[in-house]
Amino acid sequence: MIVKTNDNSNTLYSTKYNQHFHDIKTGAIQESLTKHVIPSFNFHKDKKYLRILDICFGLGYNTFSTINYVLENGLDKKLEIFSPELGGELIESLKEFEFPQEFEKISHIIKELLETKKYKDENIQIELFIGDAREYIKTLDNLDIIFQDAFSSEVNGELWTVEYFSKLFSITNENAVVTTYSIASNVRLSLYEAGFEIYEVNPTGKMKQTIAIKNKKDMEAKYIDMQLKQERNKELKALYD
């Protein structure tokens, strides 16, 4: 069922996971920009070539908003985007989906990607994989950015465990950043136990979110001391397979 969000972009409701693909109040485009694209690009301001993993593709807003952001802001960056999606039927249905007017300039990219599961020009390369995300990520390495945007850990738990995050840790480079909407302590602890350092940002002033990196650094974000959190809350446990 198509649902109109507050930024006038459309989203869908997943009957499998009983959740919307996007936050209705924030809006599908704004959610992609504020929770993933802008924080990660601010982190990699000076890097000209970015390898990005979008977990999971869903309706494609994170991938398409990333491309749009680069083009609209005239950024001198080349993009290589990898995105798995378990729902092949969902991808097929997107050929008839009403994407927002903001994506009109990249409609040719959207069309080719949905038809062939890949796209390539001189600045952008995209690979859309239909299948298990945890199997797909085994084929990747040297990633700069990961959009951790799976359905919540309550319903899509296999994409929030220490084992899963440990694999993400192994396929990212030393300066990589993971962005996610989740601020759940057990999710943050799972990231931490996989090797990541945890930070909190609030780019809109309305909704906190999590950034995970491999090494501590001075940045415009609040450092979350997960070791201290564990000491203060003995009941806090990470998520495991």
In terms of Cβ atoms closer than 10 Å to its own Cβ (0-12, 13-18, 19+), residue 3 is middle
| This prediction's pTM | 0.96
Beta bridge partners of 50: 79
User: Is 4 among the domain residues?
Assistant: no
User: Is 126 among the domain residues?
Assistant: yes
What mean pLDDT comes out for the span 2-28?
89
Distances in whole angstroms, Cα of residue 106 to Cα of each of 65, 100, 111, 169, 223: 10, 11, 9, 32, 37
Asked if pLDDT for residue 138 goes beyond 90, the answer is: yes
Asked if pLDDT for residue 41 goes beyond 80, the answer is: yes
User: Is 73 among the domain residues?
Assistant: yes
- For position 60, what pLDDT does the model report? 98
CATH number, domain at 202?
3.40.50.150
Q: How confident is the model at residue 207 (pLDDT cuts 50, 70, 90)?
A: confident
- The residue segments making up the domain with residue 67 are 27-232
Residue entry with tokens 């995209």: 126
Q: How many domains does the chain have?
A: 1
User: Is 168 among the domain residues?
Assistant: yes
Average pLDDT over the chain reads 96
User: Is 211 among the domain residues?
Assistant: yes
What mean pLDDT comes out for the span 16-30?
89
User: Is 181 among the domain residues?
Assistant: yes
User: Is 241 among the domain residues?
Assistant: no
Cα–Cα distance, 149 to 35 (Å, whole number) = 9
Cα–Cα distance, 220 to 17 (Å, whole number) = 34
Task: Give the CA angle between residues 6, 73, 144 to the nearest 5°.
Answer: 90
**Pair 3, 12: CB distance under 8 Å:** yes
Asked if pLDDT for residue 3 goes beyond 90, the answer is: no
What mean pLDDT comes out for the span 120-129?
99
User: Is 120 among the domain residues?
Assistant: yes
